[in-house]
A and B are shown apart, each in its own frame.
Chain A
Amino acid sequence: MRKVLLASVAATALLGGAASAQQVSGDAVKIGVLTDLSGVYSDFGGAGAVEAARMAVQDFGGKVLGKTIEVISADHQNKADVAASKAREWYDTQGVDLITESLNSSVALAVSKVATEKKRMQIVTGAATSRLSNEDCGPYTIHYVYDTYALAQGTGAAVVKSGGDSWFFLTADYAFGHSLEKDTGDVVKAAGGKVLGAVRHPLSASDFSSFLLQAQSSGAKVVGLANAGTDTVNSIKAAFDFGLTPKQQLAGLLTLVTDVHGLGIEQAQGLFTTEAWYWDQNDETRAFAKRYFEKVKKMPNSNQAGVYSAVTNYLKAVQAANSDDSDAVVKQLKSMTINDMFTKNGKIRQDGLHVHDMYLFQVKAPKDSKYAWDYYKQVAVVPGEQAFQPLQASRCALVNKS
C-alpha cells in the first residue's frame, strides 16, 4: 500500500497536467502557439493567446501567398523539456513555420535553441528574460512585447524618482525572476538607490507571508515583486494582510491587467506597473479589445495583444518577402516598421529585440474606476530607446560591433 502511495506522489510530481495538441498537416503556412493552457500562467497567455493568433489570421484574410494559414496550439505545462520536444516535433514533422507566445522564460530559452537548430522562426511574447536578446539570442528568435530590462527601466526608474530609493526583492526562483531582479537592481543602483537584499521563493509557492515578513524586516522602502501571475497576486494579498503596505511600497515588476482583475482593484490600488499595451488607450485598442472580449469574455492583456500583433506582422513579412523561408522573413521583419493597434514605429533590431514605447501605469483607486476593467491610469510614456537596452550594450553575438 505504501508503495502505491509513494508511486503516486512521484507520478503526480512528474505528470503535472495532461498535454493537449491539435494537429493538422498540409501545404500551408503554419503558426504554432506554444503556451501554458492549464497552469499558473494560463491567464497570462493561454487560450486567450491562441484566440488572439486566430483573430490575426482571420483579419489577414485566412490566406497568404495563396496558401491557407493554420493556427495550432499546445500546452507546454511550463516545462522546458516538454516545450523543446513539442517545438522539435512541430518544426520537424508538422511543418510549423512560426512558434509564438512561449511564455515562461525557461520555455522560451529552450524553444529558441530548437529554432536556431532547425532554422525556423520564433516570436516570443510572454517570456521576459533579457537573455533572449543577449547571450542567448538566436538568428530566428524575435523578442516582441517586453523584456526584464524594459520592465525594470519603467517601474524601477519611476519609483526611485518618486523617493523609493531602498529596495528589497521577492524573486521567483528561476531564469525570469533572476533576470528581473538583476536588471531592476541595476536600474535602482544607477538611479542612486540601494538594494538591501532579496528572498527567492519557489514557483507557485503556497504561502507568501513568511517571505513578506522578511521583506518587512529589511526596512526597505520598496518591495519589488520579481515574480508573475498568481505568485504576484498572492504576494500583494499577503502584503496587504500583514500591514506591509502602505508603510512600504510595492512595485509589481511584471503585473498584467489580468492579474489586477483576479486580485481585485481594492487590494491592487496604487500599484505601479509597466506594460507595453493597455486595452483602454485609444479607439484602435478599444476596438480590438471589444472584439476579443466577445470571444474570450475577458479583456486582453499586453501579451495577448502582442500575439495578435506578432502574428499579423509575421504574415505581412511573409507577403512582402514573397516566401515563408525563415531567412527571408527575418530579414523582412528586421527591416520594416511595426505600425498597428499594438504599437507605433516599432523596430526589430539585429539582436531580435522589438523596440517600442512602453507605458508606466498606476492601478486606480476603486472610486476612480468607472466601468468594468477600468483599472489603469497612465503615468508616463517611456520611449522605446530609453525603455530597452541600447544595441551597443547587447551581449548578443549577432550584433555587429564594428
Chain B
Amino acid sequence: MEIFGVPLVALASQLVLGLVNGSFYAMLSLGLAVIFGTLNIVNFAHGAFYMLGAFGAFFALSTLGLNYWVALIVVPLAVGLIGILVDRGLLQWLRGLDPLYGLLLTFGVSLILEGILRDAYGSSGRSYPRPPALNGVWNLGFMVLPISRAWVIGVSLVVCFTTWFVIERTKLGAYLRAATENPSLTQAFGVNVPLLVTLTFGFGVALAGLAGVLAASAVQITPLMGSNIIIAVFAVVVIGGMGSILGAILTGLGLGLIEGLTRVYYPEASATVVFVIMAIVLLVRPAGLFGRA
C-alpha cells in the first residue's frame, strides 16, 4: 500500500523518527515556555544549555568517570545550577526592564558558552560512547528502531507530562501560576516569589540539560548543536502559543512529525517547513494554536 507514492511502511518509520525529533522539540520548548510564562524572559541561551548538557555528559564520563545513568541525574542538576547562577548573577538585575535586554544578555551568554567549548573541543566535537543497554535495536516489523531513539521518546514523554501535571494540577503549580499572575499579591500571602521564580528558571534550564544528555547518546556532540536547533524551537513556542505548557509539548511533538513527513516528500524544505507553518499560524491565529489572545 502506498500513500502519495511512498510505501506505508516507509511512511510509518519516518513518523517514528519524526517523533524522536519532536521529543527534543517538546522538551526544549517546554523549558522555554515555562521560563517565558513565569519570568517573561526570552531565554536565548536555551540552546547553549542543551549543548552544555551534552558536553556535561561527555565530561562526566571522560573526566569524572560517571556513567550515563548517573549523568542523566547529575548533569541536568549541574546545568540547572549554572542556570540559577546566571539568573542570580545576571538576569535578576534586568527584572522589570524591557524583555529585549534579557534576550540580548542570554544571547551573549550562549555565544560565550559556545566559544569556550569550541576552543576546547573544536567544531567537530566528540562522540559519546553509549551505555551498552542502549546499544541494540528493536525490530518493530516495519522498521528497525535503535533502542537509544526509543529511550529518547519514552523519557521525553514522561518528563513533559509530569511537568504539565505539576504546573497545571498541583498546589505547587498553583503557587507558581499565582506568582506569575500577580507577584506582589502572592508574596503578601507568604509565598517566597523570588525563590520560586529562580527555581523555575533553574528547572527550565535543567530540562534543556536533560535534553542535551539524551541527545548525547544519539548524535554527535558539537558546540553548535544548540544553535542549530534553537531557532526551530523558538518557532515551536510561537506556534504553540507563548507560555502555554501543553501547547509547547503537543506542538513540539506535532512539528517533529510534520518535519519527518517533509523529509520524505520534499527533503530540501525540511529545515524551512517549521517556519512556513509558523507564518501560517500567525496569520490565522496570532495568539498561537493553544494561546489565549
Contact = CB atoms under 8 A, between A and B. Distances in A.
B163 interface: no
Nearest to B148: A241
A116 interface: no
B237 interface: yes
Interface in A1-60: 1-2, 4-6, 8-9, 12-13, 17-18, 38-44, 46
Interface in A186-232: 199-202, 204-207, 209-211, 213-214, 217, 229-230
B21 A206 contact: yes
Contacts of B246: none
Contact of A211 (B225, B227, B267): B267
A18 B149 contact: no
Interface string B251-263: 0000000001001
Interface stretch (B66-74, B119-127, B179-187): B119-127
B220 A263 contact: yes
A234 B286 CA distance: 36
B103 interface: yes
A383 interface: no
Contact of B14 (A40, A201, A213): A213
- Give the contact-size bracket for chain A: 35 or more
A6 B227 CA distance: 16
Contacts of B286: 2
B6 to A, nearest CB: 10
Interface in B161-212: none
Contacts of A213: 10, 13-14, 17, 143
Interface string B101-112: 001000100010
A229 B103 contact: no
User: Which residue, B17, B103, B125, B230, has most C-beta atoms of chain A within 10 A?
Assistant: B17
Nearest to B25: A206
Contacts of A243: 137, 144, 146
A14 to B, nearest CB: 11
B119 to A, nearest CB: 9
Contact of A263 (B40, B98, B114, B127): B127
B124 A1 contact: no
Contacts of B18: 210
Nearest to B13: A213
Contacts of B123: 38-44, 46, 229-230
A205 B146 CA distance: 20
A262 B126 contact: yes
Interface residues of B, number: 60
A207 B40 contact: no
A200 B267 contact: yes
A181 interface: no
A293 interface: no
B2 interface: no
A264 B127 contact: yes
B184 to A, nearest CB: 20
Contacts of B103: 4, 8
Contacts of B232: 206
Nearest to B139: A243
A258 interface: yes
Nearest to B256: A207
A259 interface: yes
A298 interface: yes
A46 B223 CA distance: 14
A173 B268 contact: yes
B192 to A, nearest CB: 26
Contacts of A46: 122-123
B44 interface: yes
Interface string A229-263: 11001100110011100000000000000110111
Given A201-B267, A217-B10, A234-B219, A8 B228 contact: no
A210 to B, nearest CB: 4
A262 B264 contact: no
A18 to B, nearest CB: 7
A269 interface: no
Given A38-B115, A43-B122, A267-B127, 20 more contacts: A2-B238, A2-B242, A8-B107, A42-B122, A42-B123, A199-B267, A201-B270, A202-B270, A202-B271, A206-B21, A209-B17, A213-B14, A230-B123, A230-B124, A234-B219, A237-B127, A237-B219, A238-B219, A262-B222, A298-B122
8 contacts: A2-B286, A8-B107, A42-B123, A205-B270, A207-B17, A210-B18, A233-B220, A261-B124
Interface of B: 7, 10, 13-14, 17-18, 20-21, 40, 42, 44, 98-100, 103, 107, 111, 114-115, 118, 122-127, 129, 137, 143-144, 146, 148-149, 218-220, 222, 224-225, 227-232, 234-235, 237-238, 242, 260, 263-264, 267-268, 270-272, 282, 286
Interface of A: 1-2, 4-6, 8-9, 12-13, 17-18, 38-44, 46, 173, 199-202, 204-207, 209-211, 213-214, 217, 229-230, 233-234, 237-238, 241-243, 258-259, 261-264, 266-267, 298
